[in-house]
Chains A and B, each alone.
Chain A
Amino acid sequence: MIVRWLSASLFFLALLAAWHLAVKAKIWSPLLLPSPVSVFDYLRSAVEDGTLWEATAVTVRRLLIGYGLGILAGIPLGLLTASSRWSQDTIGVLALGLQTLPSVCWVPLALLWFGQTESAMLFVVVMGTLWSLILATDNGVRTIPPIYTRAARSMGSTGLHTWTHVVLPASLPFLLSGMKQGWAFAWRSLMAAEIFVTILTGFGLGHLLHYGRELNAMDQVVGIMFVIVIIGLAVDKVLFAPIERFLHRRWGTGRP
Chain B
Amino acid sequence: MLTSEGPSAGAASSKLVLEHISKSFQTSSLTVQALDDVTLRIAEGEFVCLVGPSGCGKSTLLNIIAGLDRPDRGLVQADGHTIAGPGPHRLMMFQEAALFPWLTVLGNVLFGLKLSNKLTAAERQEKAEYFLELVGLKRFMHSNVHELSGGMKQRVALARALAPNPSVLLMDEPFGALDALTREQLYGDIQRIWSQHRKTIVFVTHNVREAVCLGDRVILFSPNPGRIREEFAIPLPRPRDINSVDLARYATEITRVLKGYVQTEVAG
Binding site for B on A (CB under 8 A): 145, 147-148, 150-157, 161, 165-166, 169-170, 172, 249-252
Q: Cβ of A147 and Cβ of B94 under 8 Å apart?
A: yes
Contact among A153, A166, A172 for B68, CB-based, below 8 A: A153
In the complex, what distance in Å separates the CA atom of A139 from the CA atom of B101?
18
With a cutoff of 8 Å between Cβ atoms, the chain A residues found around residue B144 in the complex are: 249-252
Q: Chain A's nearest CB lies how many Å from the CB of B61?
A: 15
Given contacts A147-B98, A148-B100, contact A155 B147 (CB under 8 A): no
Given contacts A156-B87, A249-B144, contact A161 B100 (CB under 8 A): no
Q: For residue A146, which residue of chain B has the nearest CB?
A: B98
With a cutoff of 8 Å between Cβ atoms, the chain B residues found around residue A250 in the complex are: 101-104, 144-146
With a cutoff of 8 Å between Cβ atoms, the chain B residues found around residue A161 in the complex are: 115
Q: Cβ of B164 and Cβ of A150 under 8 Å apart?
A: no
Q: Cβ of A156 and Cβ of B86 under 8 Å apart?
A: yes
Q: Cβ of B147 and Cβ of A252 under 8 Å apart?
A: yes
Q: Is residue B223 contacting chain A, with contact meaning CB distance below 8 A?
A: no
| Residues 99 to 124 of chain B near chain A (Cβ within 8 Å) | 100-104, 111-112, 115-116
Q: Cβ of A151 and Cβ of B98 under 8 Å apart?
A: yes
Contact among A155, A157, A172 for B102, CB-based, below 8 A: A172
Q: Is residue B92 contacting chain A, with contact meaning CB distance below 8 A?
A: yes
Number of A-B pairs, beta carbon distance below 8 Å? 68
With a cutoff of 8 Å between Cβ atoms, the chain A residues found around residue B112 in the complex are: 155-156
Q: Cβ of A155 and Cβ of B100 under 8 Å apart?
A: no
With a cutoff of 8 Å between Cβ atoms, the chain A residues found around residue B170 in the complex are: 154
Q: Cβ of B102 and Cβ of A150 under 8 Å apart?
A: no
Q: Which among A154, A157, A249 has the highest number of chain B CB atoms within 10 Å?
A: A154
In the complex, what distance in Å separates the CA atom of A222 from the CA atom of B247?
82
Q: Chain A's nearest CB lies how many Å from the CB of B140?
A: 14
Q: Chain B's nearest CB lies how many Å from the CB of A89?
A: 20
| Residues 120 to 171 of chain B near chain A (Cβ within 8 Å) | 144-147, 160, 164, 170
Contact among A147, A151, A251 for B146, CB-based, below 8 A: A251
Q: Cβ of A252 and Cβ of B115 under 8 Å apart?
A: no
Contact among A154, A165, A249, A252 for B92, CB-based, below 8 A: A154
- Interface of chain A: mostly helix, strand, loop or mixed: helix
Q: Is residue B51 contacting chain A, with contact meaning CB distance below 8 A?
A: no
With a cutoff of 8 Å between Cβ atoms, the chain B residues found around residue A153 in the complex are: 68, 86
Q: Cβ of B115 and Cβ of A155 under 8 Å apart?
A: yes
Q: Is residue B18 contacting chain A, with contact meaning CB distance below 8 A?
A: no
Mark each residue of chain B from 62 to 74: 1 if its CB lies under 8 Å from any CB of chain A, else 0. 0000101000000
With a cutoff of 8 Å between Cβ atoms, the chain A residues found around residue B103 in the complex are: 169, 250
Binding site for A on B (CB under 8 A): 66, 68, 86-88, 90-92, 94, 96, 98, 100-104, 111-112, 115-116, 144-147, 160, 164, 170
Q: Chain A's nearest CB lies how many Å from the CB of B76?
A: 15
In the complex, what distance in Å separates the CA atom of A161 from the CA atom of B68?
17
Given contacts A153-B68, A156-B88, A252-B147, contact A170 B94 (CB under 8 A): no
Contact among B68, B96, B146 for A154, CB-based, below 8 A: B68
Q: Which among B88, B91, B111 has the highest number of chain A CB atoms within 10 Å?
A: B111
15 contacts between A and B (CB under 8 A): A147-B96, A150-B68, A151-B92, A151-B98, A151-B100, A153-B86, A155-B88, A155-B91, A155-B111, A155-B164, A170-B101, A250-B144, A250-B145, A250-B146, A252-B101
Q: Chain B's nearest CB lies how many Å from the CB of A210?
A: 44
With a cutoff of 8 Å between Cβ atoms, the chain B residues found around residue A156 in the complex are: 86-88, 112, 115-116, 164
With a cutoff of 8 Å between Cβ atoms, the chain B residues found around residue A155 in the complex are: 86, 88, 91, 111-112, 115-116, 160, 164
With a cutoff of 8 Å between Cβ atoms, the chain B residues found around residue A172 in the complex are: 102
In the complex, what distance in Å separates the CA atom of A157 from the CA atom of B111?
9
A-B pairs, top 9 by smallest CB distance, nearest first, are: A252-B146, A154-B92, A155-B112, A151-B98, A169-B102, A156-B88, A147-B98, A156-B115, A153-B86
In the complex, what distance in Å separates the CA atom of A157 from the CA atom of B116?
9
Q: For residue B164, which residue of chain A has the nearest CB?
A: A155
In the complex, what distance in Å separates the CA atom of A169 from the CA atom of B88?
22
With a cutoff of 8 Å between Cβ atoms, the chain A residues found around residue B145 in the complex are: 250, 252
Contact among A150, A154, A169, A249 for B100, CB-based, below 8 A: A169
Given contacts A154-B68, A154-B92, contact A251 B101 (CB under 8 A): yes
Extra contacts, 8 of them, besides A250-B101, A250-B144 (Cβ < 8 A), are A150-B94, A151-B100, A152-B111, A155-B91, A169-B102, A250-B103, A251-B146, A252-B147
